[in-house]
């Protein structure tokens, strides 16, 4: 039996594919004996406690790129294969990143807030010329490479720092160290995976390295960034703006972070109807492959999982 959960439309699409493959799907079943596959989204964590209840489990597939909600070291020893869908929303997240970046550089949201407060003026936030903007990408995976190509087409000067080995990867932009990247960038966008090593990688010290008036966009994972340090940098005027699609706690349990030059969206940078379909169908295909005795190309190694997942 397969247990599936997530967005209603996505689950419906995945269910059709799983049943066509001859698999039984139950959307209401308790996790326990007899469950051989789990299809989840980032809202549902799978830890050792959940695994202990599913003695017959063979496959876990998350309908997402990120898998930091699947910290399940030892899955291979349990005979469980864990998969993600690494490329379903590359275009969407890259487009959202660029949209947020252009908003900050041209002061669109700040200007809108001014007008609604009956202030008819050039926005208080600096409005930059896009061409010539020095953009730094923290992480250089598929999404960051798309951002780089789109930004270069607009005339931006792009550099990146890679948080993962780039063996065999064609470099579209110069790669530099994080300190150098931060010190030279008018704008920074975050694309790194969330691991034990990268959690909190952009904190007060790193933000202080940015040139005065720089802007920052995070469409990766909230845990990469020290939110309190970011808010202090905005309040002190060292950053002229920030845009976040992700937060350390989602949804925020208290009042959302607030600043006149802070733009927030509800972890929706990934979304389009096409991306939603691809995520859930990709997860379904991974489960079908595992239960058919195959090893999907999207299977995550136990070593990666032991390090805490990624964005």
Catalytic residues: 221, 250, 267
Query: What DSSP string describes 41-75?
Result: -TTS---HHHHHT-TT--EEEESSS--TT---TTH
40: helix, strand or coil: strand
Residue 12's nearest CA partner among 280, 244, 292, 285 is 280
CB-CB contact of 75 with 47 (8 Å): no
Contact 242, 216 (CB under 8 A): yes
For residue 215, the Cα-to-chain-centroid distance in whole angstroms is 19
Please say whether the beta carbons of 270 and 80 come within 8 A: no
């Amino acid at each position: 039996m397969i247990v599936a959960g997530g967005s209603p439309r996505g689950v419906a699409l995945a269910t059709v594919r799983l049943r066509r493959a001859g698999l039984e799907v139950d959307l209401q079943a308790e996790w326990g004996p007899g469950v051989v596959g789990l299809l989840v989204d980032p809202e549902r964590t799978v830890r050792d406690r959940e695994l202990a209840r599913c003695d017959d489990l063979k496959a876990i597939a998350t309908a997402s790129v990120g898998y930091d909600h699947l910290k399940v070291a030892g899955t291979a020893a349990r005979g469980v294969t864990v998969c993600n869908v690494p490329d379903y929303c590359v275009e969407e997240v890259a487009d959202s990143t660029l949209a947020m970046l252009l908003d900050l550089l041209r002061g669109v949201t700040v200007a809108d807030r001014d007008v609604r407060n009956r202030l008819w003026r050039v926005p208080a936030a600096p409005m930059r010329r896009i061409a010539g903007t020095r953009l730094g990408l923290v992480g250089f995976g598929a999404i960051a490479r798309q951002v780089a190509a789109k930004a270069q087409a607009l005339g931006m000067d792009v550099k990146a720092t890679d948080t993962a080995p780039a063996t065999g990867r064609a470099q579209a932009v110069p790669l530099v160290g994080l300190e150098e990247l931060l010190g030279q960038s008018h704008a920074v966008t975050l694309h790194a995976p969330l691991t034990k090593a990268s959690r909190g990688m952009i904190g007060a010290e790193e933000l202080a390295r940015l040139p005065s008036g720089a802007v920052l966009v995070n469409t990766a994972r909230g845990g990469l960034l020290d939110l309190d340090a970011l808010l202090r940098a905005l309040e002190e005027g060292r950053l002229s703006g920030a845009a976040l699609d992700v937060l350390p706690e989602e949804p925020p349990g208290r009042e959302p972070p607030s600043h006149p030059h802070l733009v927030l969206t509800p972890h929706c940078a990934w979304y389009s109807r096409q991306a939603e379909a691809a995520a859930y169908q990709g997860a379904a295909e991974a489960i079908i492959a595992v239960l058919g005795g195959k090893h999907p190309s999207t299977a995550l190694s136990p070593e990666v999982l032991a390090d805490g997942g990624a964005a």
